[in-house]
Structure 1
Amino acid sequence: MSEAATDAAPKRKKRDHRIDALRGIALLMMLADHAPQDVLNRFTLRNFGFADAAEIFVLLAGYASWLAYGRLILRGPPTGGWALGVERIVRRCWRLYLFQMVMLLVSVLTIRQWRHYSPVPVDFLEPELAHGHEWIWRVLSLQALPNNLNILPLYIVLLLAFPVLVFLWKLSPWLLAGASLALWGLVNSDPTLNLPNWLDPDGWYFNPFAWQFIFTLGMLAAIMAGKREGNLPGPLWARLIAGAYLVFAALQCFPYESWNLPSLRPLGDMPPADKSDLAIWRWTDALAILLLVQSSVTATRLSETRVGQALALLGRHSLEVFSFGTILDLFARLVMNSFGDGWIIQILVNVLGFAGVYGVAVWLDRHRRQAALMAGETRKEAREEAKKDRSAEIGDANP
């Protein structure tokens, strides 16, 4: 190949690891937050802002959904289009549903067995799930969503609604943003607008009619970043506002009492920002973080370090890491409840937890690479066979 041809060849776009790394951080924070006795949850996002890992997770779910399915739908046949996009969304939702069922069944059966040997507080398992079999149908039909097992059903509902969001966006991005904001506002004015939950008279803890807004914001952010090589527009004034808001949120939300420190809250003891209906304080917090990360060259460099790559590895396998982490959290809570939460238990639980989820991510990534390599070899063999067939046809045509 000539030097000119080499220069003219398009360069392969370098992967942006910031979103994966941020999602990896959110997964590790969830791992700590879901075990109340874990001392590490004193250092997670919920102590330094209105939002916590859940808002980051759903915001990035909307971002990733556009990259995975939105662009596929817009590409059109034969390599894309509505039919293929909807098919992949349904397959993904089915996978999410299976993981939800496995996590829930493992949780219920584990707690039922554990309490034969050691007392288990009632808040580990809703009373309706503790006895009998009526709960099985309720769980299978997503009518019953226990604590710590309610975010994947939210993701399923939002993902099933994703084609509607794409359709509205094609009509007008402002129509999509306005409709989504209006629905969020309606829910916050009337919290009874929710899906039913057999375990909670107030309905789903993550109200999907409210949480669709942060999912939509993630989708719109991905569209905007796609026009700028993966970067969100980050003018100085926007970054200053986002940074100032996060400083205010940290000062307002920090648990001074737990650290025996004098309060520095600018607004005093304000009412807690409602999580179920996604109070405005919460989604603005998550959006500010996304803006600062996706407009930062420094964040790009950090995501390419060894630590950043380890976090990105977790983020690329978020479903499996989250699900395995949820089961590990259950055992951590049971162990700490039965044997105490001293330093030896703390170190053991956290080392095994972090090593466990990272090991799962490494194994999955290696398996994915091997599958891609085998698929590449298969395609190469097919191309070689096709060349041989064409050569034979030419030979037959020219005896």
Structure 2
Amino acid sequence: MFIIFIAHVPHNPWKAWIPAAFGPSDATELFVFCSGMASAMAFGSLFRDRSFFLGTARTAYRVWQVYWAHVCLFAVMVTMIAIFDQMHGDDFYSTRLYTRPIFDDTARHLIGFMTLQYVPNYFDILPMYMVILMMMPVVMALSRISRWAVFAFIGGVWFLTQFDILQLGAEVREGNDREWFFNPFGWQIIFFLGFSFVMGWIKPPPRSWWLVLAAAVIVGLGVLTASRYGWGNFDWVIPFRRANRWLFWKTDLGIFRIVHFLAVCYLAWFVVGEGGKRLAMSGIPGRIVDVIRKVGQQSLAVFVSGMVLSQFMGAALDQTAERGPVALAWANLTGCAILIGIAYLVGWYKSEPWRREVVVPAKRVAEPRAEPRSEARGGEATSAEVRTLEPRTKGRAAV
């Protein structure tokens, strides 16, 4: 979430140090992969342990939530950049964010947006996620046949996208055939890889130094072919990329992006240990891990907030004389701190503290005074009087 925020702050030099600057895969693959794992935990068990109907209903409810998050994100962003344009005196911000069509032809583009026919580039992650979620019941139905049926399906769908057979239009303007920047039929393979690991359809790879070496070689090739360290220092890189663009496609998720991402995942998994046991640290490092985990647990709320916050911080930086190191540090670190606060706030709301039972401490009841035995009762104490007098008698004996 922090990387996605930093990556979306306009003209942010800090982007030179995020993973996308060192290879073809980036935070998007990680986001989609982790979403697949989380979906397996949240929805996969319903399909497997309860019923196909309940799993489908729960998935549909999540699609409904994501859809309205997408709508609210767009409404807030368009309102914010309209304010920025008025302050700037032109259409600078709406043009920079590729949302100018909604201002120039509002009715057509508003209808197109609500029906997912108009998908601006900045607002394409959540629509992709929705389509992939809608594929989940199909995958779970195939899993009843065989896991190989699942792999054939997700692999076949991905393969068709590489030839532009499966794609979705992102424009309602005539003569413009722009497709969704993130083609869900290509990106679903990363999602369902994460999903398959949690469902147990794919077993974790062995911990082998040979695999570590192979993964390191792949990551090194990524640095050479997809970073400024390769583009500027080796003459063969640009011609190689032009001749093999299909390897690096982001829209349809080229094969080298997948292989590179899996290599990075393997190295990370090897470092942290099985089940992330090396992340179980104490002290400050442990607290940092807990904070990162909390932010990841509230991914939807933090993601939506980060998309808004990144543009706000970009506009704030535009007001500075120059984007010096102090201003950049303020924008990036403050934004990350706000996202942490949002994660904890949303987590608190989700815990529904108002539903917890309030434990009222028992009031101290004054000890009744021992009454003399009633002569009317023949000098014998009642059972209630005996219970009252016993503690006092024991107390005096102890003294």
TM-score band, normalised by the shorter chain? 0.7 to 0.9
Unaligned 5+ segments in structure 2 are 359-399
Q: Which residue of 2 aligns with 1:19?
A: none
The one-letter code of the counterpart of 1:291 is Y
- SS of the residue corresponding to residue 194 of structure 1 reads coil
| Aligned residues of 1:187 and 1:209 also touching (Cα < 8 A) | yes
Aligned counterpart for 1:223 among listed residues 199, 210, 213: 199
Residue in 2 aligned with 1:247? 220
CA contact (8 A) 1:324 1:357 kept: yes
Q: Which amino acid aligns with 1:184?
A: W
Aligned with 2:264 (options 284, 289, 311): 289
Partner of 1:195: 168
- Deviation, 1:254, is 2.4
Cα 1:177/1:303, change in 2 over 3 Å: farther
Cα 1:246–1:309, aligned 2, differ >3 Å: closer, same or farther? same
**Contact persistence 2:10–2:311 (CA under 8 A):** no
| Bigger shift: residues 285-294 or 322-331 | 285-294
CA contact (8 A) 2:230 2:237 kept: no
* Greater mean alpha carbon deviation, residues 65-74 or residues 235-244: 235-244
Q: Tell me which amino acid in the other structure corresponds to 1:87.
A: A
Q: CA deviation at 1:366?
A: 2.8
1:300 partner letter: K
Equivalent residue in structure 2 for 1:367, among 333, 336, 349: 349
1:318-377: CA deviations, max 9, x gaps?
Answer: 000000000001112222334342334312211221111011011122333454x945x4
Cα displacement string for residues 10-66 of structure 1 (whole angstroms, at most 9, x for unaligned residues)? xxxxxxxxxxxxxxxxx1111111123112111111111110111111111112211
Matched, 1:279 2:254: yes
Partner of 2:36: 62
Shift of 1:265: 7.7
Counterpart position of 1:101: 71
Q: CA RMSD in A?
A: 2.6
> Structure 1 residue 106: deviation in Å?
1.0
Contact 1:187-1:277 within 8 A present in 2 as well: yes
CA displacement, residues 71-107 of structure 1 (integer Å, 9 cap, x when unaligned): 22111xxxx2112211211111111111111110111
Instruction: Indicate the structure (1 or 2) with the bigger Cα radius of gyration.
Output: 2
Q: 1:348 to 1:278 in 2, by over 3 A?
A: same
Distance 1:163 1:96, change over 3 A: same
Paired position in structure 2 for 1:336: 317
Q: In structure 1, what is the Cα distance between the partners aligned to 2:271 and 2:44?
A: 25
Aligned to 2:189: 213
Whether 2:94 is the aligned partner of 1:117: answer: no
1: CA distance, partners of 2:236 / 2:217: 14
Q: 1:224 to 1:243 in 2, by over 3 A?
A: farther
Q: CA deviation at 1:194?
A: 0.7
Contact 1:74/1:81 (<8 A) preserved: yes
Q: Name which of 102, 117, 129 aligns with 1:129.
A: 102
Cα distance in structure 2, aligned partners of 1:171 and 1:257 = 46
Structure number with higher relative contact order (C-alpha < 8 Å, ≥ 6 residues apart): 1
Paired residues, number: 340
Question: Can you give the 5+ residue segments of structure 1 that lack an aligned partner in the other structure?
Answer: 1-26, 379-399
Q: Aligned runs of 1:1-399 on 2, under 5 Å?
A: 27-75=1-49, 80-118=50-88, 119=90, 120-121=92-93, 122-134=95-107, 135-189=109-163, 191=164, 193-198=166-171, 201-224=177-200, 233-256=206-229, 262-263=233-234, 269-271=240-242, 273-298=248-273, 299-302=276-279, 304=281, 305-339=286-320, 340-371=322-353, 374=355, 377=357
- Deviations 1:124-162 (Å, cap 9, x if unpaired)? 233311234212211111111112211011111111110
- Whether the aligned pair in 2 keeps the contact of 1:103 and 1:327 (CA below 8 Å) is yes
**Range moving further from structure 2, 119-128 or 176-185:** 119-128
Residue identity over aligned pairs, in percent, reads 26
Separation (CA, whole Å) in 1 of partners of 2:236 and 2:227: 8
Normalised by the length of structure 1, the TM-score is: 0.78
TM-superposed deviation, 1:311 = 1.0
Q: Is the 8 A contact 1:303 1:312 kept in 2?
A: no
The alpha carbon displacement at 1:208 in A equals 1.3
Contact 1:314 1:361 in 2 (8 A): yes
